[in-house]
Structure 1
Amino acid sequence: MRPLLLALMLAAASPAVAAPIRYHYDAAGSTVGFEADFGQTPIRGQMPVADITLALDFDRVAASHVEVTLDAAAARANIPFATQAMKGEDVLATRDHPQIRFESTSVRPTDTGAEITGRLTIRGISHEAVLDAVLYRPPGSDPVERDDLKILLTGAVSRSAFGATGFAHLVGDQVRLKILAHIRRAG
């Protein structure tokens, strides 16, 4: 896959202003991954997407919008005991807060893709979060092809900012996110 840079897409866009394109999320071709330091071995895991609403405007990137709800109660870590600890009251408290939600408040183009700023809600606590986004298209496809894409979102958050302070003597505060979403243009 080669990157489909938003800057190139803006240059290739037609002069007429088009409405944002709505996309469906393909769960089978997507992963929502996270990683936190745990001594010499990082804790890695995945969390399923419960719902996603995505509209990309290639003519006016700032008009793009994303809303994602993750199923925190179904999160899994690569270390079995870490899965239960992560869902417990001292970290994600999934009994009372089974979902994590992100809604964009601004999208701006960058040299390599876009920067998406939004409100992230974990444990009922909301803070601003920033994710870097890069779009990819299938190899060999037309450079203006926009029907079948992958979007890579990366960023990091402080878990203590959301009250997820459990096991701080064992697990690092920074949680790194790597989300690869396969998206297809809505019919």
Structure 2
Amino acid sequence: MYRRDFLGLSLAALATPTFAAPRPYTLSGAGATITYTFQLNGAPVKGTVPIDTANLTIDSTNLAASTADVTADVRRARTGLIFATEALKSSSVLNAAAFPLARFQSTRIKLGPGGRLSEGAVVDGKLTLRGATRPVRFNASLFRPRGTKPGDFSTLNVKLSGQVNRRDFGATGYADLVDNTVAIAITAEIATTA
């Protein structure tokens, strides 16, 4: 389990020489995964899509100006059911053959209480899926991994959660079996590149 005290991720703690602003981050060796959950015939089904690239900048002097640009290859989407996986990637849902990449770009970050990128922070952005770009919102948490020293921000953990309506992106297939709302949870370990 990760440390949940969010040490050093407030404006006061980040304004140190060891955390100069702005600081670029990308995926660490641990990588990242998007987990999605949808209702299939009334039963929840979970699946995953690995994140290919994540370019993030955390600005210690203005945390709200931090940015994220993330892509995932939906051709690598998986569920626990082979028929559901193939249906998911079909032309009437994700249309993975024609639109292999999904992309999220942040447009606004609202800090949590105490000016933190955790405990109530919200990230607004644009999600491009199936060639359609729509606004989305994620709840966000950013914190140091368990066992790291106070003031060590070389590696951070990110958690995002939210939901999208698949119809907004033209993913309308199997409407008689699959609900429109898809819950999304993203977990990533990121490491500084500077």
- TM-score when normalising by structure 1: 0.91
- Summarize deviations over 1:58-105 as a string: whole Å, max 9, x none: 321121010011101111111110110000011001111011111111
Is 1:174 paired with 2:191?
no
SS of the equivalent of 1:181 reads strand
Q: Please name the residue that 2:139 is paired with.
A: 132
Once the 2 structures are TM-superposed, how far is the Cα of residue 5 of structure 1 from its aligned partner? 3.8
Question: In the aligned structure 1, how far is the partner of 2:28 from the partner of 2:161?
Answer: 18
Distance 1:157 1:26, change over 3 A: same
- TM-score when normalising by structure 2: 0.88
Taking only aligned residues, the RMSD between alpha carbons, in angstroms, comes to 2.1
Is 1:47 paired with 2:49?
yes
Once the 2 structures are TM-superposed, how far is the Cα of residue 56 of structure 1 from its aligned partner? 1.0
SS of the equivalent of 2:10 reads helix
Distance 1:40 1:27, change over 3 A: farther
SS of the equivalent of 1:11 reads helix
Once the 2 structures are TM-superposed, how far is the Cα of residue 148 of structure 1 from its aligned partner? 1.1
Question: In the aligned structure 1, how far is the partner of 2:46 from the partner of 2:33?
Answer: 12
Check the 8 A contact 1:71/1:100 in 2, yes or no: yes
Distance 1:164 1:106, change over 3 A: same
SS of the equivalent of 2:4 reads strand
Q: 1:62 aligns with which of 56, 61, 64?
A: 64
Check the 8 A contact 1:24/1:54 in 2, yes or no: yes
Q: Please name the residue that 1:153 is paired with.
A: 160
SS of the equivalent of 1:84 reads helix
Q: How does 1:1-187 map to 2 (within 5 A)?
A: 1-5=2-6, 9-14=10-15, 18-26=20-28, 28-111=30-113, 112-187=119-194
Number of residue pairs aligned between Structure 1 and Structure 2: 187
Once the 2 structures are TM-superposed, how far is the Cα of residue 18 of structure 1 from its aligned partner? 4.0
SS of the equivalent of 2:162 reads strand
Question: In the aligned structure 2, how far is the partner of 1:15 from the partner of 1:74?
Answer: 40
Question: In the aligned structure 2, how far is the partner of 1:82 from the partner of 1:109?
Answer: 37
Residue 138 of structure 2 aligns with an amino acid whose one-letter code is L
Q: Percent identity among equivalent residues?
A: 36
Residue 97 of structure 2 aligns with an amino acid whose one-letter code is R
Check the 8 A contact 1:113/1:135 in 2, yes or no: no
